[in-house]
A and B are shown apart, each in its own frame.
Chain A
Amino acid sequence: MSKPALIRLVAPFVRTDAERVPSTSSRSARRRAGRALESLLIGTASLCLWLGLWQLASTRDWQFFFRFDNIPAPSEVALAAGELVSSPKFVSHVQNSLVRIFAGFSIAAVLAVSVGVLVGHVRLAALSLLPPLEVLRPIPAVAWIPLAILLFASAEHSMIFITFIGAFFPIFLNTIHGVEGLDRRLVYASRTLGAGPVDVFWEVVLPGALPAIVTGLSIGMGTSWFSLVTAEMISGQYGIGYYTWEAYTLQNYPHIVLGMINIGVLGMGSSFGIKWLGRRAMPWFRPEGSAA
């Protein structure tokens, strides 16, 4: 990727800060842009250095504790990537994974946020729902795979279920945290301004918990990818996790790395997407806290 393209890629994330603060002078915006460019240059240089080391290790078949003789070199990976772009099979792998993520994550988001808000806001809900959920919480999503296969008729559904499990708890716990961490004085203030219980919920509790909910969604997106890839490796027929594992069983080693890179890019992209949406939904939010 050329440097201007890279800068354009990062620019939206750099610029939003300046946009949120109308009073920020253009000089400090420029200073921030300069700092972003600096970190970009150093980051790229470091990346190139490590890629070079890897290339060296693979082509020379280095063997010192790590065995590089079977590890594909970056150049081989790049060649394989060239073939891949034109392969319709690969596109459908990615599509399958994306559909599963979207389905599992969406269901998790809706359920975890609504149950989380309920548990955080309504005492009875906390008393009745928390104990069973606390029992389930420490079970990692991967451990659900055998049961998920039994639980659903189609492998597709069981994988979506695993994705759902992976995303649910981070979102759920963060939502509860957000509701419970709400400044009670805001609730008091709203009531002295005429807000009833329903108004308090929609006007104060929900927006007040939103920063924590967005954090939960962002973490949940990461864990849902983690869970999905594992599920696909074990029981999938399509999908990027399956693709990676298949590359190993077929001794198609460059494609293992390609699969990994793809998982990384997709995971990072969707997390950025969540953060971007969160920022759009909360133009008022300052991470360091707005209470002056």
Chain B
Amino acid sequence: MSAAPLLPDVLSASGAIELRGVDIHFGDGKTAVSAVSQLDLDVAPGQFVSILGPSGCGKSTLIGAIAGFTPLSAGELRVDGRAVTAPGPDRGVVFQHHTLFPWKTVLQNVEFGLKMRGAAPRERREIARAMLDSVGLADFAQHYPWQLSGGMQQRVSLARVLVNRPRVTLMDEPFCALDAQTRLSMQELLLALWHDYHITVVFVTHDVDEAIFLSDRIVVLSERPGRVKAEFSVGLPRPRTRDLLTSAAFMQLKRDALGLLFDGSGAAASGYRGRAEANPRPSRTRLARHL
């Protein structure tokens, strides 16, 4: 990965996530469900990490925990060295379906975080307008969320989070409700914003293409209770464009990743599984090496 240039107003060393032996259970007694078990994960500042796994493997639970909604049953979770206890604007979340306030205009939605921070109306309007411009929605400032398409709604969601300059942006399958074309342009937009704002992104998805296209690193979770089954780096050059999706290097990575996801199919997959089972620490393999 080529180092993204830092904007002067962004802290360079912020956005490190650290999970140590994290357990998350829901319910008590016989109905208790273990969603995440003995999970260790480190995310470096500015890294784009995708969490990939079968549905119901605790991907969203993990996002909830880092965001501060879901209490840990055991283990430690720190962002920039500080334990996470409650939600906060330093950890923005983009949900699968937009959570824009229906009673606020697009601009008011984007302004919200600044308003909570006590910014003066004129100042926050200016910043929010600039942010809207960077997601290409400057002309829709006075619209209400229901007047926008799904893709536009997610762009506003993204703008609303980024305007806070969060250390970490958590994204829970944000594009999976969009059609393929819109999804691709959203992915490209996200990469551009990630590059410009130099944010740490934890991106949950079940779409292998999406994970490879976007990420520096992909973490594969096992079935419930979720634990890190394997992880690998994506060494594809940046900036990435849609041409990459049909390249041989991309295909090779995808084949390996699919093998990991549906374990047992393919030599690479069984190889990873063997290593992951033999070693409680996740295996780190640089798949991109043989490209």
Contacts and interface: CB of A to CB of B under 8 A. Distances in A.
B95 A189 contact: yes
Interface stretch (B31-39, B44-52, B111-119): B111-119
A199 B116 CA distance: 8
What interface size band does chain A fall in? 20 to 34
Interface residues of B, number: 33
B92 interface: yes
Contacts of A207: 101, 103
A290 B145 contact: yes
Contact of B116 (A22, A183, A194, A285): A194
A147 interface: no
Contacts of B67: 188, 192
A186 B86 CA distance: 16
A286 interface: yes
Interface centre among A22, A23, A203 (most CB of B within 10 A): A203
B99 A188 contact: yes
B97 A291 contact: yes
Interface centre among B113, B116, B143, B161 (most CB of A within 10 A): B116
Interface stretch (B18-26, B146-154, B223-231): B146-154
Contacts of B59: none
B164 interface: yes
Contacts of A208: 103
B91 interface: yes
B116 A192 contact: no
A56 B147 CA distance: 53
A65 interface: no
Contact of B87 (A185, A192, A204, A282): A192
Contact of A192 (B93, B103, B105, B153): B93
Given A284-B102, A290-B102, A194 B89 contact: yes
Interface in A178-208: 183, 185-186, 188-196, 199, 203-204, 207-208
Contacts of A21: 147
A191 B101 contact: no
B171 to A, nearest CB: 12
Interface centre among A21, A190, A204 (most CB of B within 10 A): A190
Interface in B102-127: 102-105, 112-113, 116-117
A183 B112 CA distance: 18
B68 to A, nearest CB: 8
Given A284-B103, A290-B146, A292-B146, A193 B95 contact: no
A258 interface: no
A285 B95 CA distance: 22
Given A186-B101, A207-B103, A292-B150, A192 B91 contact: yes
Interface of B: 67-69, 86-89, 91-93, 95, 97-99, 101-105, 112-113, 116-117, 143-147, 150, 153, 160-161, 164
Given A192-B87, A194-B89, A194-B164, 5 more contacts: A21-B147, A22-B143, A193-B113, A282-B103, A290-B144
A-B pairs with the 8 shortest C-beta distances?
A: A194-B89, A290-B146, A189-B99, A194-B116, A191-B87, A193-B113, A207-B103, A290-B102
